[in-house]
Amino acid sequence: MDAILLQILNGLDKGSAYALIALGLTLIFGTLGVVNFAHGALFMIGAFCAVTLQKLLNLSFETLDETQKDFLGNPLKVETPYVEAWFGPEVGATIIDWSVPLAILFAIPIMLLVGYVMERGLIKHFYKRPHADQILVTFGLAIVLQEIVKYFFGANPIQTPPPDALSGSVDLGVMVGFDPNAIIYPIWRLVYFGFAVGIIGAVFSFLQFTTFGMVVRAGMADRETVGLLGINIDRRFTIMFGIAAAVAGLAGVMYGPLNPPNYHMGMDFLVLSFVVVVVGGMGSLPGAVLAGFLLGILESFASTTWATTTIPGINQIIIYLVAIVVLLTRPRGLMGRKGVMEE
Amino acid sequence: MLGLNKKDTSLLIIVALLTLLAPFILNPFPEGSAMAQFNAGYPDLMQRFVIFGIFAIGFNILFGLTGYLSFGHAAFLGVGSYSAVWMFKLLSYNVIPAIALSVVVAGLFSLLIGFVSLRRSGIYFSILTLAFAQMSFALAYSVLSNPKFNLTNGETGLQVYADDPQILQGANAPDLPHLFGLPMRATYTMDLGAWSFDFNAGYYLCAVILMVVFYLAIRIFRSPFGMMLRAVKSNQQRMNYTGLNSKPYTLAAFVISGMYAGLAGGLMAAMDPLAGAERMQWTASGEVVLMTILGGTGTLIGPVLGAGFIKYFENIFSKINDNVLHSWFAFLPDGLEDAVVFLIHPFIGKGWHLTLGILFMLVVIYLPGGLVEGGQRLLNWFKRKKTKSDDAPSGKTEPAE
């Protein structure tokens, strides 16, 4: 029992990332009808927002400390981050420590802007072109974004540690009545899962409970009619593109401590996220979220020693296998509407 | 000639001349001159031109004719490489059985994948092929290299070892890939004054094969079968309504392009007897898509041009560094020179992929027909300039719907 629970928990962090990226992809596909191959790059840009903020906060100046001497007898050079000088050493150290969560605030405006510029500057011109062209141009964009990041940050993964208070593990098993040490779980993964659930909840309630969201949903159902009612649906869809970019970016920001960001992390996630979207059902938001978590957990179950000894390598291919079976037997996906992109 | 009309014959002859004379054409700069680094006439690079040309021609038969965008063609290339190396390991270093097997195996593999993937079209088809290719990559990388059943040798890559059976390997046959005794690495260097030209056996094998498959591609493009594939691209629904089952046609196109990819993979292994899983990764599939689009989708010569273009500039760009740039822009005032070099710096050397990505986006946005369309537009532009006086209305007619 505790082993099963442990595997479910293990699948949650990847599942959260899949769900968030797939949610953004589906938002874009559902509103604009565009297949966005650059969405993984947005996830990566989010992660590098955290890296940038961490670098900015660690900017420091050198001073000579006369009270301390190094082994040659010269005054010791001390590096003090500007933040510590401005806010005092303790507050400054805390700010640096919490750079990843702080990067959320930093990333939201950046990602909204990136999304907005991308839609107005590029995607807008591709609504009328075939899906193949959309795939191609966004694929090219993904390469460009990835290479730009590589140019500035290098090819190696960059460590973005979580705050001290949230690093380490908790013994979850004890809390729910299992033996001690049965389920030990890193705190940051829990944080990530909670964060993902929060974002997903926010997006859904935004769509469900605000007038803006209502108009967007109406536009997803029947764009032409909404336009005929005198509503500028294009503008709202552009904003939705920005929001989808922000969702992917935030998923990336918080993912850094789980896996140090590198420039091709977006591509790695992109393929899987597409598979998730297809399994969940093209254009279905709950489907994307559900499929994201399900596939994440499935992958975690397939990685157990029992599964890998029974069928070697099942952990590598399980998601693709599921996708192939789903596409062939139920092409509209788990929760897709009938008739949406079934051919 | 050979059942081709005049235009296609001349196209075939042009391609034949280009490939056969490539060692001359690609080495325009004398040895030792400052421009010698832009020579591309060395065997390794020329082989890559031709092999990727074959790969792209095959991909174009699927994507250019039927419009089905496959993101998994590298899987067939990888399978071809693996089967060729297995032939080296089991039979002998002769390349003929290796290449033959790689085509057959890739054909069977693509039949399997195509049969499943082609049940869907559009974006679903792309994602299915992507999923299959990633699955093959994962299998080749880890699963199929366990000690009990080592088919791919995992991360190291499959290669020939001294204790492999090689049952047909003769006692005095060369110990590297050869064609009935002629090693693929054999290179004859011709020195002509300051120039030197390399004639490589492996390259010429690839070149001859390229001509054959290019001829086949022309025949496919011009055949009723090719017409049927174009019909699938322009309106599959209407074809289905007329009571025609288009699936066998698309499947045939898929298998043919898979076999082309397998052939390319086999040749790759024949030039260098090594096969690795990274050849199957989806970025490799993306590369052939780039080549085809850049050259011109649905045209005969486009994919070959695209493959040559990408491979050539990949090679050249990675050679240019800041010093070269400084020497080029030395005529500018100092400050300006540094600024220009600083601006160009991200796009050269390791930044080649950035340049490629931007170029690719520009082509998709402004020039969907690729280099071929660009060339035609230029040609038309010049023609129009010449005959500006007789500005007759163009006889463009809209098809009646």
**pLDDT on residue A111:** 93
Contacts of A136 in chain B (CB under 8 A): 69, 289, 293, 360, 364
Mean pLDDT for the stretch of residues B132-159: 81
> What does residue A77 show for φ and ψ, rounded to 5 degrees?
-85, 130
Query: Is B288's Cβ below 8 Å from some Cβ in A?
Result: no
Do residue A271 and residue B121 have CB atoms under 8 angstroms apart? no
Is B241 in a helix, a strand, or coil?
Answer: helix
- Out of A316, A320, A323, name the one closest to residue B142 (CB): A316
Greater confidence (B42 vs A39) lies with: A39
Contacts of A132 in chain B (CB under 8 A): 67, 69, 126
- Out of B132, B138, B354, name the one closest to residue A151 (CB): B354
| Nearest-neighbour CA in chain B from A57: distance (Å) | 26
Question: Is domain A8-58+101-329 classified as CATH 1.10.3470?
Answer: yes
% chain A with pLDDT above 70:
97
A26-40, A184-198, A297-311, B240-254: range with lowest mean pLDDT: A297-311
Contacts of A324 in chain B (CB under 8 A): 116, 128, 131-132
Greater confidence (B155 vs A338) lies with: B155
Cβ contact B77:B52 at 8 Å: no
**pLDDT on residue A343:** 47
Q: What single letter denotes the amino acid at residue A337? A: R
As given in the structure block, the two tokens for residue B355 are 């340049």
Residues 6+ apart with CB under 8 A from A242: A111, A112, A113, A115, A116, A119
> DSSP string of B317-385?
HTT--HHHHHHHTTTS-HHHHHHHHHHHGGGSGGGHHHHHHHHHHHHHHH-TTHHHHHHHHHHHHHHHH
E strand or H helix at B245, and its extent? none
pLDDT tens across B296-333, in order?
888 888 999 999 989 888 888 887 777 777 777 777 78
- Out of A144, A317, A321, name the one closest to residue B354 (CB): A144
Mean pLDDT of all residues belonging to chain A: 85
- Out of A130, A141, A327, name the one closest to residue B120 (CB): A327
Q: What is the pTM of this model?
A: 0.86
- Mutation target vs A (from B365, B366, B367; most A CBs, 10 A cutoff): B365
Say how far apart CA B58 and CA B258 lie, in whole Å.
Answer: 7
Query: Is B143's Cβ below 8 Å from some Cβ in A?
Result: yes
Closest to A45 measured CA to CA, from A139, A113, A126, A130: A113
pLDDT of B245 strictly over 80: yes
pLDDT of A71 strictly over 60: yes
Do residue A317 and residue B132 have CB atoms under 8 angstroms apart? no
| Other CB atoms within 10 Å distance of the CB of residue B270 | 30
| Nearest-neighbour CA in chain B from A111: distance (Å) | 21
3-class secondary structure for B132-155? HHHHHHHHHHHHCEECCEECCCHH
Contacts of B286 in chain A (CB under 8 A): 139
Contacts of B121 in chain A (CB under 8 A): 343
Mean pLDDT for the stretch of residues B37-58: 87
Say how far apart CA A244 and CA A25 lie, in whole Å.
Answer: 7
pLDDT tens across A269-323, in order?
888 888 888 888 877 889 999 999 999 999 888 888 777 777 777 777 888 888 8
pLDDT tier for residue B1 given thresholds of 50, 70 and 90:
low
**CA nearest to B365 within chain A:** A137
pLDDT tens across A131-178, in order?
888 888 998 999 899 989 988 888 888 888 888 888 878 877 777 777
Mean pLDDT of all residues belonging to chain B: 85
Do residue B351 and residue A35 have CB atoms under 8 angstroms apart? no
pLDDT tier for residue B35 given thresholds of 50, 70 and 90:
confident
Do residue A278 and residue B121 have CB atoms under 8 angstroms apart? no
Q: What single letter denotes the amino acid at residue A37? A: F
Residue recorded with tokens 């100092």: B334
pLDDT tens across B98-109, in order?
999 999 999 999
Residue B188 bridge partners (DSSP): B199
Mean pLDDT for the stretch of residues B207-224: 93
Greater confidence (A120 vs B29) lies with: A120
Cβ contact A119:A239 at 8 Å: no
Say how far apart CA B168 and CA B37 lie, in whole Å.
Answer: 42
As given in the structure block, the two tokens for residue A331 are 């092409």
Which DSSP category does B187 fall into?
E
- Out of B126, B132, B144, name the one closest to residue A135 (CB): B126
Say how far apart CA A141 and CA A295 lie, in whole Å.
Answer: 27
| Other CB atoms within 10 Å distance of the CB of residue A208 | 10
* Dihedral over alpha carbons A305, A309, A315, A320 (to 10 degrees): -150
Largest CA distance in chain A: 80
pLDDT of B111 strictly over 90: yes
Is B159 in a helix, a strand, or coil?
Answer: strand
Is B384 in a helix, a strand, or coil?
Answer: helix
* Dihedral over alpha carbons A314, A320, A321, A322 (to 10 degrees): 110
Cβ contact B195:B31 at 8 Å: yes
**pLDDT on residue A162:** 86
Cβ contact B140:B278 at 8 Å: no
% chain B with pLDDT above 90:
27
Cα angle: B85, vertex B89, B92; to 5 degrees:
100
Do residue A135 and residue B69 have CB atoms under 8 angstroms apart? yes
**pLDDT on residue B75:** 94
Write down the domain spans for chain A.
8-58+101-329
Contacts of B367 in chain A (CB under 8 A): none
**pLDDT on residue B102:** 94
Cβ contact A283:A337 at 8 Å: yes
Closest to A282 measured CA to CA, from A339, A325, A213: A339
Cβ contact A249:A49 at 8 Å: yes
**CA nearest to B70 within chain A:** A132
* Dihedral over alpha carbons B363, B369, B372, B375 (to 10 degrees): -70
Write down the domain spans for chain B.
8-29+39-317
Do residue A131 and residue B289 have CB atoms under 8 angstroms apart? no
Say how far apart CA A234 and CA B8 lie, in whole Å.
Answer: 47
Contacts of B360 in chain A (CB under 8 A): 136, 140, 143
A83-87, A232-236, A309-313, B69-73: range with lowest mean pLDDT: A309-313
As given in the structure block, the two tokens for residue B105 are 């195996």
pLDDT of B114 strictly over 90: yes
**pLDDT on residue B396:** 47
Q: Which CATH architecture has domain B8-29+39-317?
A: Orthogonal Bundle (1.10)
Greater confidence (B269 vs A341) lies with: B269
- Mutation target vs B (from A37, A134, A316, A318; most B CBs, 10 A cutoff): A316
pLDDT of B287 strictly over 60: yes
Is B125 in a helix, a strand, or coil?
Answer: helix
Say how far apart CA B326 and CA B341 lie, in whole Å.
Answer: 7
Do residue A323 and residue B127 have CB atoms under 8 angstroms apart? yes
| Nearest-neighbour CA in chain A from B28: distance (Å) | 32
Residue B198 bridge partners (DSSP): B189
Cβ contact B16:B301 at 8 Å: no
- Out of B131, B138, B354, name the one closest to residue A316 (CB): B138
- How far is Cα of residue B7 from the mean position of the Cα atoms in its chain? 23
Mean pLDDT for the stretch of residues B112-128: 86
